[in-house]
Amino acid sequence: MSEDTPIEEQTKTKEAEKEKETEPKKSEYKFIEDLPGVGPATSQKLRDLGYHTVESLAMATSRELEPVGVSEKKAFQIIGAARSAIGINFVRADELYKMRQTVLRLTTGSKAVDKMVDGGLETQTITEFYGEFGSGKSQFCHQLCVNVQLPPERGGLNGGALYVDTENTFRLERIIQMAKHLGLDPEQVVKNIIYAEAYTSDHQMFLLENADEIIKANNIKIIIVDSLTAHFRSEYIGREMLASRQQKLNKHMHKLIALARAFNTVAVVTNQVMAKPDQFFGDATHPIGGHIVGHTSHTRIYLRRASHGPVRIARLVSSPYLPEGEEILKVTENGIEDVTEEEKAAKTRGR
């Protein structure tokens, strides 16, 4: 029902709605216009704000709907209905276990790295790759765009990829090389990647805020932001801008989590490191973005070069439930691959 319908009709439908409210209404609301309280005017404003699907509305907060101009109560009602439609509610812990089972896994291309993260990158949370330039962050992103298209028995999710590129480093040639190596039709693989270049941090945020419909229509199963922090880092300079930078990054990361949950997709971000000159012990490099990025990335993987050549070291730095770990892999013309036993032995011999 909508605020734009005549009064008598509204009262009639309100009665009917009350009745409906008592029963579960999963999948009853397919489009945002089906939600109670969303008439043409409201739906237009919601769409202008980037809420094109019931799934993304279910993940919204009433504060985020403030610009729509509806009361807080009504915003709650709209969000509540959207949540009921996709079945998000209080759950018992045993049900939580069942929900965790809807988490899917995507192969990275390296069995060793997959094992380190419990069988592949998971859907519904953010995985962050951080490391110096040339450490292989974008190579992982390219590989994941191809792998996501594989069938589950080969470690894929039978889905498409959404690639937000902030540094213009996405290369189709790489995708084609990787697709051929996996025996996939490169033409088809390329068609399943939705690409967007983000010109500024605001544009980057705007792209995600308006991505819900594209994700749904293209069966997107991985959302990539490469790099998460580059624009923010170059636009927000100095201490006085730090707070607003962190606030925006926080909002951006939360939008990404919301999309990953709503559509059960993998979410990958990349991040560079900066040197901490005041640190004398251990590794003096730290990922950018401080606590905000650290806390919102569920799984953080630190990539570094082993020496000259294709070998890289991937270190699982933090995970909500896995111990730290370290594995080696290589970046070759074929993409991300495991190192052979021979290469491993050579590395331990210090060659």
Of 323, 321, 299, 325, the closest CA to residue 97 belongs to 321
Task: Let me know: does 201 contact 209? Beta carbons within 8 Å.
Answer: no
Which amino acid appears at position 335 of this protein?
G
Binding of ligand ATP by 135 (CB under 6 A): yes
Binding of ligand ATP by 108 (CB under 6 A): no
Taking residues 164 to 183 in sequence order and writing x for each that binds ligand ATP by CB under 6 A, - otherwise, the string is: -----x--------------
**What residues between 127 and 156 interact with Mg ion by CB under 5 A?**
137-138
Residue 137 Cα to chain centre, angstroms: 15
Residue 218 burial (CB count, 10 A): 16
String of DSSP letters for 313-344: EEEEEE-SSS--EEEEEEEETTEEEEPPHHHH
Q: From the CB of 323, what's the least distance to ligand ATP, in Å?
A: 25
Binding of ligand ATP by 275 (CB under 6 A): no
Q: What are phi and psi of 264, to 5 degrees?
A: 50, 55
Contacted entry of ligand ATP, Mg ion, none for residue 333, CB cut-off 5 to 8 Å set by kind: ligand ATP
CB burial readout 26-35, b (16+ within 10 A) else e: eeebeebbeb
C-alpha angle 277-282-284 in degrees, rounded to nearest 5: 25
**Which span sits near ligand ATP by CB under 6 A: 4-12, 37-45, 94-102, 331-339?**
331-339
Q: From the CB of 163, what's the least distance to Mg ion, in Å?
A: 12
Binding residue (CB under 6 A) for ligand ATP from 90, 133, 280, 321: 133
**What residues between 200 and 239 interact with ligand ATP by CB under 6 A?**
none
Binding of ligand ATP by 75 (CB under 6 A): no
**Which span sits near Mg ion by CB under 5 A: 13-21, 73-81, 124-132, 166-174?**
166-174
**Which span sits near ligand ATP by CB under 6 A: 47-55, 190-198, 281-289, 330-338?**
330-338
Q: What are phi and psi of 78, to 5 degrees?
A: -65, -45
Binding of ligand ATP by 287 (CB under 6 A): no
8-state DSSP, 238: S
**Which span sits near ligand ATP by CB under 6 A: 5-13, 16-24, 131-139, 336-344?**
131-139
Please report which helix (H) or strand (E) contains residue 278, including its range.
none
**Closer residue to ligand ATP, CB minimum distance, 272 or 297:** 272
Binding of ligand ATP by 333 (CB under 6 A): yes
Q: From the CB of 274, what's the least distance to Mg ion, in Å?
A: 15
Contacted entry of Mg ion, ligand ATP, none for residue 332, CB cut-off 5 to 8 Å set by kind: ligand ATP
Sheet containing 311-318: give its strands across.
Answer: 193-197, 160-165, 220-226, 266-271, 126-131, 299-305, 311-318, 325-332, 335-338
Residues that bind Mg ion in the complex, under the rule CB under 5 A: 137-138, 169
